[in-house]
Amino acid sequence: MLPPFNPWLTGAVAADIAAASQAADAGLAARRERRLRALLEAAARSPRYRELLAARGAAGPGLADLPIVRKPELMRRFDEWVADPAIRLDALRRFVADPANIGTPFLGRYVVWESSGSSGEPAVFVQDAAAMATYDALEAIRRPDLRPLDRLFDPWGAAERMVFVGAIGGHFASTVSIERLRRLNPLLSSRLRSVSFLQPVADLVAELHRHAPTIVATYPSVAVLLAEESLAGRLRIAPKEIWTGGETLSPAMRSFVRRAFDCPVVNSYGASEFLSLASECAHGAMHLNSDWAILEPVDAKGRAVPPGTTSTTTLLTNLANHVQPLIRYDIGDRIALRSDVCACGSHLPVIEIEGRCDDTLELGPARGRRVHVLPLALSTVLEEEAGLFDFQVVQKGMSELELCTGESGGVADAALLRGRTALAGFLALQGAGRVRIRCRSGRPPLRGRTGKVKRVIAST
């Protein structure tokens, strides 16, 4: 069964996105207002949102009149959150528990993925054909064209070979999206691959050699690891583009990866709640897709912060997804909204994101080859294999880690033991089998200088 795809709708959305890319502030604002009204009308089909809207009066609320909503509360009332009564959380949980369903439509008409659980227990997100048309069109139209001459002679990308390096065993947004594309277009199957970053680095390198990608899509920490392997002479691929997202990409990281592979590096910003929130322009600024997504940077009390100020958290309103409304949803990211117009001329707002900045661990004996452990790979193992979501890993030495949780009691202790077993097995597979792992429960997480919690902290 093919995943949801409406070519006519996708074409219409793409045409509007192309026009909006050149629109002035008034044109963008008009699109937002029109789509917000449509979203609020659709949200009335959700029992939970019907309550929230009714509580704000018959005159109809403005966006700022609606309460802030958070993942735990919505997940507890999931069957009342969704606007289609045929969608039930227990059925979705069974569906995503089977890796064979990755890319398969749920109920024959919905694309489904899970969040990674980086801010707590995973959520499940359901997308219909209209939402997927929006994400597809935003990716196609607003991702910068790094090689216009190549695209001129190969507009359909027939010569490209793209590899995504990340977590591929679960119903994560990136994995589901890639498998969806492979199913929609069998011609892409041999040229669009997903490669696990959970395998030992030598195996990862060997798999990349087999695929010889022209485009590598991955996380910044993984891109740096691959750049190190390339400079050491162990990785011999010649990508023409590196796409990154999901973590902070510092100028130093970008420069290092670009120098190692001698190709451009482009970053993007997305989330499980909205796949394509922002893309870089040719000047390196991150432009919010404000015609389809509303981001409100707020302080700890939910009050708007002025332009240029980094928020405590951010509220998302997804204007594309009507089946699972996300209105003033706390996504937990820290951003700053700039008020100046970018030199590229676009009126799409420029945002600065303080993304995940966990450390890559370097483990091993005092003498001998060290093993690099990617933070996202470590988090994936603890979440997927041990069911441990509230954790922090702190490196105490080259062969010692501390696995902590803020929870306490028997349930927390059992989760830590599962986490230690899963982590020890993973490290052994990576070649770091002699690492001591100590467990500590009831410990508040350590915070960096910005106040942001890091889940993986390397020794200094």
Q: What is the pLDDT of residues 236-293, one digit of tens each?
A: 999 999 999 988 898 989 999 999 999 999 999 999 999 999 999 988 899 999 999 9
Q: How far apart are CA 439 and CA 162, in angstroms?
A: 40
CA–CA separation, 418 and 106 (whole Å): 31
Distance CA 308, CA 170 (A): 37
Task: Over range 343-349, report the average pLDDT.
Answer: 93
Task: Answer whether residue 199 is part of any domain.
Answer: yes
CA distance 271 to 326: 12
379: its two tokens: 């988090």
CB 112 within 8 A of CB 96: yes
The pLDDT of residue 91 is 97
Instruction: Please report which helix (H) or strand (E) contains residue 137, including its range.
Output: helix 129-142
190-238 tens-digit pLDDT: 889 999 999 999 999 999 999 999 999 999 999 999 999 999 999 999 9
Chain segment 45-92, per-residue pLDDT in tens: 999 999 888 876 544 557 888 899 999 999 999 999 999 999 999 999
Same domain, 379 and 333: no
Backbone angles phi, psi at 341, to 5 degrees: -90, 135
- CATH classification at residue 106: 3.40.50.12780
119-128, 347-356, 449-458, range with the lowest pLDDT? 449-458
How buried is 394 (Cβ within 10 angstroms: 0-12 exposed, 13-18 middle, 19+ buried)? buried
Beta strands in 88-213 (DSSP E): 111-114, 124-127, 162-166, 192-196
Do residues 268 and 374 share a domain? no
Residue 307 in any domain: the answer is yes
For residues 322-338, average pLDDT: 95
Residue 314 has pLDDT above 90, yes or no: yes
* Contact yes or no for 142/18 (Cβ under 8 A): no
Task: Give a yes or no: residue 259 inside a domain.
Answer: yes
Q: How many CA atoms lie within 13 A of 116 on its CB side?
A: 23
Are 128 and 260 contained in the same domain? yes
| 257 in the same domain as 127 | yes
Does residue 241 lie in a domain region?
yes
349 and 370 co-located in one domain: no
Instruction: Name the amino acid, one letter, at 242.
Output: I
Last residue of a domain, one of 354, 369, 403: 354
Please tell me the total count of domains within the chain.
Answer: 2
> Is residue 155 within 8 Å of residue 35, measured between CB atoms?
no
For residue range 431-440, list pLDDT tens digits in order: 988 899 999 9
In a shared domain, residues 249 and 172 = yes
CATH number at residue 448: 3.30.300
Q: What is the 3-state secondary structure (H, E, C) of 212-252?
A: CCCEEEECHHHHHHHHHHHHCCCCCCCCCEEEECCCCCCHH
User: Does residue 328 contact residue 293 with C-beta atoms inside 8 Å?
Assistant: no
Residues 374, 252: one domain?
Answer: no
Say if 106 falls within a structural domain: yes
CA 300 to chain centre: 23
Residue 1 lies in a domain: no
Indicate whether 16 and 97 sit together in one domain. Answer: yes
User: What tens digit of pLDDT does each residue of 8-42 get?
Assistant: 899 999 999 999 999 999 999 999 999 999 999 99
Alpha helices in 262-386 (DSSP H): 375-386
Q: Which of 59-73, 325-339, 382-396 has the highest mean pLDDT?
A: 325-339
What pLDDT is recorded for position 365? 73
Residues 88 and 172 in one domain: yes
- C-alpha closest to that of 374 among 241, 240, 134, 195: 195
Nearest-CA neighbor of 94 among 85, 107, 83? 107
Shared domain check, 344 and 428: no
Domain end, chosen from 354, 370, 391, is at: 354
- Give me the pLDDT at residue 149, please: 60
pLDDT bucket at 136, cuts 50 / 70 / 90: very high
So what's the pLDDT on residue 450? Answer: 47
Report the number of secondary-structure helices (H) and strands (E) in the chain. Answer: 14, 20
Inside any domain, residue 347: yes
Domain that holds residue 177: 7-354
Boundary-marking domain end, from 304, 325, 354: 354
DSSP assigned state of 65: G
Q: In terms of domains, do 350 and 424 share one?
A: no
Contact between residue 223 and residue 258 where contact means Cβ atoms under 8 Å apart:
no
Q: Is residue 205 part of a domain?
A: yes
394, 245: one domain: no
Residue 453 β-bridge partners: 447
